[in-house]
Amino acid sequence: MKPLLKASHVVEMFGGLKAVSDFNVYLEQGELIGLIGPNGAGKTTAFNLFTGVYQPTSGEIEFDGQSIVGLAPYQITQRGIARTFQNIRLFSELSVLDNVKIAFHDHVKYGLLEAVLRVGRYTEEERQIERDSLELLKIFHLKDKAYETAKNLPYGAQRRLEIARALAAKPKLLLLDEPAAGMNPQETQELMEMIRWIRKEFNLTILLIEHDMSLVMGICERIYVLEYGHIIAHGTPEEIQNNPEVIRAYLGGAS
Amino acid sequence: MNIQRKNDLMYLVLGLVIFGIVYGLMEGGMIGSFWKLNIIIICINIIMSASLNLINGYTGQFSLGHAGFMAVGCYVSVILTTNFHMPLIVGMLAGGAAAALLGCLIGLPTLRLNGDYLAIATLGLGEIIRIVIMNINYVGGAAGFTGIPHLTTFPWVFFTMLVTLFFIKNFVNSTHGRACIAIRENEIAAGAMGINTTKYKVMAFTIGAAFAGIAGALFAHCFYIINPSSFTFMASFNYLIMVVLGGLGSLTGSVAGAFVVTALSAALASWPEFRMIIYALALILLMFYRPQGLFGYVELTAFKPFRFLDRTKGGRE
Ligand SMILES: Nc1ncnc2c1ncn2[C@@H]1O[C@H](COP(=O)(O)OP(=O)(O)OP(=O)(O)O)[C@@H](O)[C@H]1O
Ligand SMILES: [Mg+2]
C-alpha cells in the first residue's frame, strides 16, 4: 500500500537560507509520527509546505497518491490535511462554538439560497453542525466553555480548541505544531491521552512537532529528527534516544 | 415551528408594526413632506450601511467605494424607467444586477489587496465610476439625468429594507457568512479550515454591491433629476461613518448608525455650518468612549432589556 503522505527531496529556500533541504518523509495510514529538532530546524516550515502555505523550491509532496504541490491551503484541507498552529491562530473574537462550526464549512451541502431563505437542508444541517461541534468540544473538555469568547480561554484550552477545530474539517491527516507548548505536566499528560484517543476514534494519521520529549517518546511510533533543515535521524523512540547524532544535536558540542 | 422561525416571525411582526405606525402618520398628514422624504432616505441609507457592513464589518475588507455601486444601480434603473417606461421593480433588479456584476468583476483582482491598499483601490474605483458617468452624454453627463418618474414610495423602500436586513441576517448566520467572518478574524486560519478566502471575499463584495445598486435605484426615483455629484467620495465616506458609528459587524448597529446620521443631518439642515461641527464632535466623542461603535460586533439583542427578541443565542443546554 502507498503511504498516505510522501515527501521526496523537498527543498525550501528563503533567499539564501535553506530552511529545508533534501527532506524525505513518509507517513503510513494510521501512524502517529513525531517530528523533533532544535529551534529553527525547519519543522514548522515542513508543515507549511505540507499545507500549501509555502510552495517547495523543488521536490515532490504526495498525499493520498496525488501531488499536492501548487495547491492552495484551502484545497489541501479539502483533500484531507488539517493542522494546528504553533503561534495559536484562533478566530479570537468569536465564541468557542463558532470556532469549531466554521471548520465544518467544506462539508456543508446547503447552498446560498437555502441559507438566505432558511429552507431546504439549512435547518437540519445547521442543527447537525451544532450537535457535532458540541460533541467535539466535549472530547476536549471545552463543552462548558462553548459560549465563551475564544481569546478569553486559558492557553492550554486554546491549544485544545485548535485541535477540536482542525478535527471539524474531518481530515485524514492531522498535523499538530507543538500542541503541548505552554501546558503544565498534568495538562500534557491529558493531551497525550486525547491524541491517542482521537487517532483511534477518528481513524487518523497524525504527525506532531513537539519539544516535550516525554510526550513524543511516549506516544509516537516513529520519529524524524531535523537539524538545520536536514533529517539527521529517523527511527523508533528507542533508536532515537540512543542515536549519537541526536544526542550531539540536542546537547550541542563539536560535530 | 423551531425557535429560529419564531424569531424571524417576531422580527417581521415588529417590522410591520413600525411600518403601520409610520405609514399611518404619513397618510394622516402628521409627517410633513420634508420628513417624509427623510424617512425614505433613512430606509435607503439603512440598505446602504447594512450592505457595506457585510463587506467592511463582517468580512473585514475595507471598502471605500460604496457610492460608486449605488450610482451604477441608480443610472441603470433610471434609463429603464424613464427611457423605456419599465416599472420600478425592473429598474431595481437590473440596477442591483449591474452593480453586482461590476462588484464581482472588480472584486476579483482588488480583493487580493490587503488593508490600506484595498481601501485606496476601492476609493479610486468609486471615483472612476462617477467620472465615467459624468462623461456619458446619454445620461446627461455632469448636468444630470432629468425627467425621472417619481416612483419611490415609503412602502417600497421599507419593504426593500426589510428584505435586505433579513437577507444579510440569514447570510451571516449560515456557513457562508461564517466563512466571511472567519476571513475577518484570521485569514490564514480560515484558509487552513478549508475556506476559499478569495471566493468568499468576492461573494461578500458582490452581495454588498447588489444591495447598493438596489438602494441606488430607490434613491433615484425620489427625485426628478439625478446627478453624479450625489456619488462622490464624500458619499461613500458618509456610509462608512454610519457603519463605524453603529458598529462594525452589527446589523442593528448599521440600522442605528444610518438612522442617527441621516436624522441628525436632516434636523440640522437649516444650519449647515453647525451640521459639520456636531457631526465631527459626535465622531470624536465616539472614538473616545466607544471606539468599537455603538454596538460593536454584537446585536441589540445581546443587551439585557432586548434579549427576549432573540432566543436562539447564548442558550446553554
Ligand atoms: N517566511 C520565512 N521567511 C524567511 N525565513 C523563514 C521563514 N519562515 C521560516 N524561516 C526561517 O527558516 C528556519 C526554520 O524555521 P522554522 O520556523 O521552520 O523552525 P522550527 O523548527 O519550527 O523552529 P521552532 O522550534 O522554533 O518552532 C528559521 O531559520 C527561520 O528563521
Ligand atoms: Mg516551529
A9 to chain B, minimum CA–CA distance in Å?
A: 24
Q: Is A188 in the pocket of ligand 1 (CB under 6 A)?
A: no
User: Is the distance from the beta carbon of residue A41 to the nearest atom of ligand 1 less than 6 Å?
Assistant: yes
Q: In testing the pocket of ligand 1, which one of A10, A13, A17 has its CB within 8 Å of the most ligand atoms?
A: A17
Mean pLDDT over all residues of chain B?
90
Domain count for chain B: 1
For residue B60, give its domain range: 2-229
Which residues from A are below 8 Å from B197, CB to CB?
A: 74
Distance of CA B66 to the CA centre of its chain: 8
Q: Is B176 in contact with A103 (Cβ distance < 8 A)?
A: no
Inside any domain, residue B295: no
Structural domains of chain A ordered from first start? 5-80+171-251 (3.40.50.300), 94-157 (no CATH)
Residue B307 maps to a domain: no
A109 touches chain B (CB under 8 A): no
For A79-114, give one letter per residue: b (16+ CB within 10 A) or e: bbbbbbbeebbbbbebbbbbbbbbbbbbbbebeeeb
- Measured in Å, residue A224 CA sits from the centre of ligand 2 at 15
Contact check, Cβ <8 Å, B192/A115: no
Whether B297 and A103 lie within 8 Å, measured CB to CB: no
Residue B88 belongs to some domain of the structure: yes
Q: Does A147 touch chain B (CB under 8 A)?
A: yes
Residue B163 at interface with chain A, using a CB cutoff of 8 Å: no
Closest ligand 1 atom to A211 CA: 25
Q: Does A126 touch chain B (CB under 8 A)?
A: yes
Instruction: Return the ligand 1 atom nearest residue A48 CA.
Output: 18
Q: What is the pLDDT of residues B144-155, one digit of tens each?
A: 999 999 999 999
What is the pLDDT averaged over residues B55-75?
95
DSSP, residue by residue, chain B: --HHHHHHHHHHHHHHHHHHHHHHHHHTT-S-HHHHHHHHHHHHHHHHHHHHHIIIIIS------HHHHHHHHHHHHHIIIIIS---HHHHHHHHHHHHHHHHHHHHHHHTTS-HHHHHHHHHHHHHHHHHHHHT-GGGTGGG-EE-------HHHHHHHHHHHHHHHHHHHTSHHHHHHHHHHH-HHHHHHTT--HHHHHHHHHHHHHHHHHHHHHHHHTTSSEE-GGGGSHHHHHHHHHHHHHH-TT-HHHHHHHHHHHHHHHHHTTT-HHHHHHHHHHHHHHHHHH-TT-SSTTS-GGGSGGGGGG--SSS---
Task: Give the model's pLDDT for residue B293.
Answer: 77
Residue B42 belongs to some domain of the structure:
yes
Q: How would residue B258 be classed by pLDDT, with cut points 50, 70 and 90? A: very high
Is A72 in a helix, a strand, or coil? coil
pLDDT for A136-148, tens place per residue? 999 999 999 999 9
* Contact: B170, A74; criterion CB under 8 Å: no
C-alpha of residue A75 to centroid of ligand 2, in Å: 23
pLDDT above 90 (res A226): yes
pTM above 0.95, yes or no: no
* Residue B278 Rama label (left phi>0; alpha psi -120 to 50; beta): alpha
Q: What is the pLDDT of residue A127?
A: 95
Question: What is the grid cell recorded at A245?
Answer: 547524532
* pLDDT confidence of residue A73: 96
What is the pLDDT, as a whole number, of residue A255? 46
Please report the pLDDT score of residue B316 as a whole number.
Answer: 35
Q: Does B135 touch chain A (CB under 8 A)?
A: no
Q: Which helix (H) or strand (E) holds A207?
A: strand A205-209
Test mutation, A49, A68, A75, A89, chain B, max B CBs within 10 A: A89
Whether residue A77 and residue B192 make contact (CB cut-off 8 A), yes or no, is: yes
Cα separation of A253 and B138, whole Å?
A: 81
Binned at pLDDT 50, 70 and 90, residue A41 comes out as very high
Q: What spacing in Å lies between the alpha carbon of A91 and ligand 1's midpoint?
A: 24
Q: Is the pLDDT of residue B300 over 80?
A: no
Mean pLDDT on A177-193: 92
Considering chain A, what percentage of its residues have pLDDT values greater than 90? 88
B210 at A interface, C-beta within 8 A: no
Nearest atom (ligand 1) to Cα of A229:
14
CB A59 within 8 A of CB A8: yes
CB atoms within 10 A of CB B131: 11
> Is the Cβ of A115 closer than 8 Å to some Cβ of chain B?
yes
Binned at pLDDT 50, 70 and 90, residue B192 comes out as: very high
Contact B54, B226 (CB under 8 A): no
Residue nearest to atom 10 of ligand 1 (CA): A19
What confidence score (pLDDT) does residue B275 get?
Answer: 78
pLDDT tens per residue across span B82-94: 999 999 999 999 9
The residues with which A222 forms a beta bridge, in sequence order, are: A33
pLDDT-based confidence at B99, cuts 50/70/90?
Answer: very high
Average pLDDT for B154-168:
96
* Tens-digit pLDDT profile for residues A60-78: 999 999 999 999 999 999 9
A249 vs A138: CA distance, rounded Å:
40
Does B178 sit within 8 Å of A83, measured CB to CB? no
Which among A90, A108, A115 has the least Cβ separation from residue B171? A115
Q: How far is CA A128 from CA A109, A124, A162, B51, in A?
A: 12, 6, 20, 29
CA-based R_g, chain B, Å? 19
Give the pLDDT band of residue B266 (cuts 50, 70, 90).
confident
User: Would you state the pLDDT for residue B314?
Assistant: 45
Does the beta-carbon distance from B185 to A92 stay under 8 Å?
Answer: yes
ipTM for this prediction: 0.93
Is the pLDDT confidence value at A188 over 70? yes
Percent of chain A with pLDDT over 70: 98
Return the C-alpha cell found at A243.
542515536
Of A179-188, B13-22, B160-169, B293-302, which range is least confident? B293-302
Measure A41 CA to ligand 1 centroid, in angstroms: 7
Q: Ligand 1 atom closest to Cα of A43?
A: 21
Least confidently predicted of A133-142, B155-164, B266-275: B266-275
Q: Please work out whether the CB of residue A19 comes within 6 Å of at least one atom of ligand 1.
A: yes
Picking from A228-232, B1-5, B169-173, which range would have the lowest pLDDT averaged per residue?
A: B1-5
Q: What are the pLDDT digits (tens) for A88-130?
A: 999 999 999 999 999 999 999 999 999 999 999 999 999 999 9
pLDDT for A253 equals 52
Instruction: Provide the number of CB pairs (under 8 Å) joining chain A to chain B.
Output: 103
Task: Report pLDDT digits (tens) over B202-244.
Answer: 999 999 999 999 999 999 999 999 999 999 999 999 999 999 8
Ligand 1 pocket mutation pick from A43, A45, A209, A213 by most atoms within 8 angstroms of CB: A45
pLDDT over 60 at B280, yes or no: yes
Nearest CA to ligand 1 atom 7: A14
Count of residues making up chain A: 255
* Residue B163 pLDDT > 90: yes
